[in-house]
Structure formats: C-alpha cells, structure tokens
C-alpha cells in the first residue's frame, strides 16, 4: 500500500530516489491538524518601533553585562538628523558617529613608549645619515694645467690610484709615470699620499703645516769673514728637514741630496815629498747636490760648503740660468747646529762639532719647491703633488666634495 508523499512548498518535484526512500521508511506519526491563525491583537496592545527596539535591547544588555562586555550603542542613542538640517552638518554627524562606533568597538591597543619611539627614530636617522655620507666623496684630486688653471677633477672615495696604465686616474700620454705610480687614501679621517715604488718618485710641495718657519731654525756658526745669512731671518720662508738621499725638485731640476761621510768631509792638507800642496784654501763640506738627468746619470755635482746655500735662476750659490721655471732666488739649504756629543774614537774635536742637520727652504718662489716623499706621508687640504709631468692639487673636506 503506497504512502502519500506530502507536497513540498513551491511545487518542487521530489526525485525518484527520495520517493523510494520514503516508501521503504516506517509509517510516519500522525500529523496534527493545522491551527487556525490567531486573531490580531487589539490596536491598543500594539507597540511602536522605538518601543520594540527598546524591548529587544534589554536582553542584549543583560547578556553583555553578564559577560563583562561594554553594552553596544543602542539604535535610539544614535543622533537623529532632521530633514531640514544642513547637509554638511548631517555628514559631520554621521562621520562623528562612525568614528565613535569604531572607537567603541575596537579593542584597546597598547601604545609604544615615547622614549623607545624617539630612540628608534634617532637611530634610524643616524643610520640614514651615515649611509649618505658613505656615498659622498671625501675630497677630490684636481689637475693643474700649464696655464695654472684647474683641469680635470677626480672625486676621492676612500682611495684613488694614479698611473700610466693602471689605477683610477690613468694618464697614458705621460711616459714619466709608472704603470701604477701613486696612491691617495683616507684612514681614520686623515689623508695620506704613498709612492707605489715608482721610478721617478712623488714630490710634495714645501708648505704648511708640515713646514716650519726658517727663522725658528738654529743655524750652525758662520765662519769668520763669511757674509751673514739672510734666509733664516725672513718670516715668510718655510723649511722642511732634509735627509740623506732625498730628492729635490726646483723648476726642471731634479737634485739628489747626500750627506757626506767623515771620509769625504775633509781630507786635510796634502803633501808631496814633504812639501804642502799649494792651492785654494780648503773649506768644510757638509753635503752635496747631484744633478739628475734624463740619461739616468748624475751630471754636475755641487757641494754644500756654507751654512746657507741659495739655488736660483739669476742669483745664488747654485744657478741654473737656462731654467725658465725657476725664480730669481728660488730655494735654499740651511745647515743647522748639531748638539755637542762625545767624540768617537779617531774623530777630532773639530769634526765632533760638525753639523748634521739640514733643512730645505722655499724662498717664496712662484712655482714652489718640492721634496720627494718616502713611503707614506700625511697630506692636507690644498697640497700640491707632482708625479711625472702632472701637477695635482688635493682638496679635502665637505666643501670640496661636490
């Protein structure tokens, strides 16, 4: 006996499988008859919309209070906007209401301590500043042209090499440069110039702060009858110490300075067959200057016999009249007093007092006096460097970084 299948709302057709499942199922319980619709309550028992909202909110408030949560904002508590109100004020009211709702609904967020934020910001700014500074050049290298005006400029980022075929500044046309000739580098906020074992050396102009005033040098005693020294009395003349086998560059002249040994300093009177040799009176010899030529050999030799020996183009003790780059009185070599020391065996008292200190002085020349460096030398802002046939000016500091 078939069981009647109740009709589904919307006239939905039940699939065949569902019909078979219903047929095999046990008989359903009797269905209670549908009740008649309840009669509408009287008009005086109907509640208005605000009353319904208020009554519906009561259970919600009680539930929230039981859970310890803050009651949500009621619909009746929201500001109302009149139809005749200003649209701008209505928008502002809705915006304020929305912000108030978000502020009420959002959970409280723990704020980062102000001190930690300030320290983090300061650290970030310091890191950013150091990053920018690391990308900025610490100085620059400027080529000085033959006319004396600035030429090509090369920024210095920590280190820069100069050479004929290698390095950061490559000057292939200068045959007097070694493949990698010189290096300028910064170390601990100081700048240093190094000769990279070049053939022709690196020359640094005599200038402050390395140089001292020639007037502050204590000169050796002047022999009787010799003219007084005038170089050491000028305030504008600067001097640097001279060492054995130093190279001096004045104009186009490269001079090697050698301090004489005891055997070369004085041979004493000569005799032949018991007779003194007649000749020019002897004088002390302190050192010598050897003129270095492009042939690689010494040509002329000049002995330093006086306390003050002047080099120049027209006036002085050693004169190079065919050098147009020399000043009239260009440079000088001063002999300083040596402290009194016990005389070694075989050395006379006179030889014991022989001066052993020397200085190279620039006599305010136009083109400067240069001294060859050895190894690594600290340089300053504005120093002039001669390598090969090139003249460079070193400019240091943030003012020259651009």
- Per residue in 266-314, pLDDT (tens digit) is 667 888 998 998 988 777 788 999 999 999 888 899 999 889 999 999 9
Write out the E strands in 188-330.
190-195, 202-205, 212-213, 238-242, 246-250, 253-259, 271-272, 275-276, 287-292, 298-304, 308-312, 318-319
pLDDT value for 246: 97
Residue 91: pLDDT over 90 = no
Distances (CA, A) of 208 to 264, 312, 359, 372: 34, 22, 14, 16
User: What is the percent of the chain with per-residue pLDDT over 90, rounded to a whole number?
Assistant: 43
Which runs of consecutive H residues, i.e. helices, occur in 106-203?
114-135
Q: Which of 357, 74, 325, 363 is nearest to 237 (CA)?
A: 363
Nearest to 386 by CA among 292, 289, 250: 250
Mean pLDDT, the chain, integer: 75
What pLDDT is attached to residue 136?
Answer: 85
Among 234, 204, 222, which Cα is nearest to 332's? 234
Query: Residue 48 pLDDT > 80, yes or no?
Result: no
Q: Which two tokens stand for residue 102?
A: 């978000």
The CATH architecture of the domain made up of 129-201+373-402 is Sandwich (2.60)
Rg of the Cα trace of the chain?
Answer: 51
d(CA 8, CA 19): 13
The pLDDT-based confidence of 21 (bands split at 50, 70, 90) is very low
Structure tokens at 180: 């990698």
**Residue 216 DSSP code:** G
DSSP state of 97: H
Where in the chain is CATH 2.60.200.20? 129-201+373-402
pTM of the model as a whole:
0.63
Peptide bond into 209 cis (omega under 30): yes
Residues 6+ apart with CB under 8 A from 137: 155, 156, 157, 401
pLDDT at 108 over 60: no
In which band, very low, low, confident or very high, does the pLDDT at 23 lie, cut at 50, 70 and 90?
Answer: very low
Rounded Cα distance, 253 and 250, in Å:
5
Q: How far is CA 296 from the centre of its chain?
A: 41
What b/e string do you get for 310-319 counting C-beta neighbours within 10 Å, with b at 16 or more? Answer: bbbbeebebb
Region 329-349 average pLDDT: 67
């Amino acid at each position: 006996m078939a069981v009647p299948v109740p009709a589904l709302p919307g006239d939905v057709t039940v699939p065949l499988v569902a019909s078979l499942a219903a047929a095999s199922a046990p008989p359903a319980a009797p269905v209670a008859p549908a009740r008649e619709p309840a009669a509408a309550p009287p008009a005086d028992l109907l509640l208005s919309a605000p009353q319904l909202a208020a009554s519906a909110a009561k259970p919600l408030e009680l539930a929230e209070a039981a859970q310890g949560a803050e009651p949500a904002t009621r619909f009746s508590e929201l500001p109302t906007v009149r139809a005749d109100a200003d649209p701008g004020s209505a928008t502002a009211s809705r915006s304020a209401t929305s912000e108030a709702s978000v502020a009420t609904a959002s959970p409280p967020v723990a704020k980062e301590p102000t001190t930690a934020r300030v320290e983090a910001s300061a650290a970030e700014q310091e890191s950013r500043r150091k990053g920018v500074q690391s990308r900025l050049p610490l100085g620059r290298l400027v080529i000085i042209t033959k006319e004396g005006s600035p030429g090509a400029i090369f920024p210095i980022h920590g280190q820069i090499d100069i050479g004929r075929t290698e390095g950061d500044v490559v000057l292939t046309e200068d045959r007097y440069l070694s493949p990698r000739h010189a290096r300028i580098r910064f170390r601990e906020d100081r700048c240093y110039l190094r000769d990279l074992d070049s053939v022709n050396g690196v020359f640094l102009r005599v200038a402050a702060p390395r140089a001292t005033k020639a007037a502050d040098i204590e000169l050796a005693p002047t022999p009787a009858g010799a003219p007084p020294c005038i170089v050491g009395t000028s305030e504008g003349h600067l001097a640097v110490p001279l060492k054995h086998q130093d190279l001096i560059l004045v104009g186009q002249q490269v001079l090697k300075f050698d301090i004489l040994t005891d055997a070369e300093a004085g041979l004493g009177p000569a005799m032949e067959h018991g007779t003194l040799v007649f000749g020019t009176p002897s004088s002390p010899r302190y050192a010598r200057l050897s003129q270095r030529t492009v042939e690689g050999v010494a040509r002329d030799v000049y002995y330093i016999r006086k306390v003050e020996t002047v080099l120049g183009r027209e006036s002085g003790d050693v004169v190079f009249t065919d050098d147009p780059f020399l000043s009239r009185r260009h440079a000088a070599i001063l002999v300083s007093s040596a402290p009194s020391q016990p005389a070694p065996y075989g050395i006379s008292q006179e030889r014991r007092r022989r001066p052993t200190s020397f200085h190279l002085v620039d006599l305010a020349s136009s083109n400067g006096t240069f001294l060859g460096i050895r190894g690594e030398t600290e340089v300053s802002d504005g120093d002039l460097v001669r390598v090969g046939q090139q003249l460079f000016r070193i400019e240091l500091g943030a003012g020259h970084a651009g």
